[in-house]
A and B are shown apart, each in its own frame.
Chain A
Amino acid sequence: QQQVKQSPQSLIVQKGGISIINCAYENTAFDYFPWYQQFPGKGPALLIAIRPDVSEKKEGRFTISFNKSAKQFSLHIMDSQPGDSATYFCAASIISGFQKLVFGTGTRLLVSP
């Protein structure tokens, strides 16, 4: 019940295209869903996060879509750029539970020029 399942494992997108990464969770107590971006040799960096009281959140080229009934959420990267090539992790936590983050297994994104 603590798992967060992430797909696809890897993704290749043309420059300017849309990258879509999906995650699913089981624990309905989760109430905070962040996405992290990680470059080789670096720690994860927070990209964008959403609470379950909204169905979509947009920040620049990054959008989270959230489907509470399906227990799924996804990251959309619009106008993907080569600089977006990195590993992306979805995560989930219970805010009242001191924000112990449960991470997905990651998606390696390659944006080809």
Chain B
Amino acid sequence: DAGVTQSPTHLIKTRGQQVTLRCSPKSGHDTVSWYQQALGQGPQFIFQYYEEEERQRGNFPDRFSGHQFPNYSSELNVNALLLGDSALYLCASSTTGSNQPQHFGDGTRLSIL
């Protein structure tokens, strides 16, 4: 049973560029959340997708956007990249309902030059 898979593993971009990160949830999960983890910090919630719609959003600018597909996989898009966007981007999946734990992927390490 595959867990949460993310691609690519590493990515290097320059300021001003745009990036798309991808996530496949754990089998049976229908909800995908995205988190940003800066070096030496805890993950920060970006947004959550369920039934192909953004259900909740953290304190991130509109440069961060996402999408969920009918097969529950998801993409995170970041436009106009800034140096401060350098971080580990984590995807977590879960099933909708109370008390359902989130399972994390190993993340995409994004470096902005």
How many chain B residues sit at the interface, stated as a range, is 20 to 34
Q: How far is the CA of A113 from the CA of B45 in the complex (A)?
A: 36
Contact A99 B100 (CB under 8 A): yes
Contact of A46 among B45, B56, B102 (CB under 8 A): B102
A98 to B90, CA, bound (A): 17
Most B CB contacts (10 A, CB to CB) among A95, A99, A105 go to A99
Beta-carbon contacts of A38-72 to B below 8 Å, as 1s and 0s? 00011111100101000000000000000000000
B94 located at the interface, meaning its Cβ lies under 8 Å from any Cβ of chain A in the complex: yes
Q: Are A103 and B42 in contact (CB under 8 A)?
A: yes
Tell me how far the C-beta of A57 lies from the nearest C-beta in chain B, rounded to whole angstroms: 13
Instruction: Known A43-B4, A43-B90, A44-B43; judge A96-B98 contact (CB<8 A).
Output: yes
Knowing A100-B33, A102-B45, the reply to whether A45 touches B104 (Cβ < 8 A) is: yes
Q: Which residues of B contact A30 (CB under 8 A)?
A: none
What chain A residues lie within 8 Å of B101 (beta carbons)? Answer: 34, 46, 49
Chain A, Cβ-Cβ closest to B44: A103
Establish whether residues B41 and A105, one from each chain, have CB atoms under 8 Å apart when the complex forms.
yes
Tell me if B74 is interfacial: C-beta within 8 Å of chain A.
Answer: no
B residues in contact with A78, CB < 8 Å:
none
Quick check: is A89 within 8 A (CB to CB) of the other chain?
Answer: yes
Tell me which residues across on chain B come within 8 A of A103, comparing CB atoms. Answer: 42-44
Binding site for B on A (CB under 8 A): 6, 32, 34, 36, 41-46, 49, 51, 89, 91, 95-106
* Beyond A98-B55, A101-B35, A101-B92, 14 additional pairs, beta carbon < 8 A: A6-B42, A41-B106, A43-B90, A43-B106, A44-B90, A44-B104, A46-B101, A97-B56, A98-B50, A99-B94, A100-B48, A103-B43, A106-B40, A106-B41
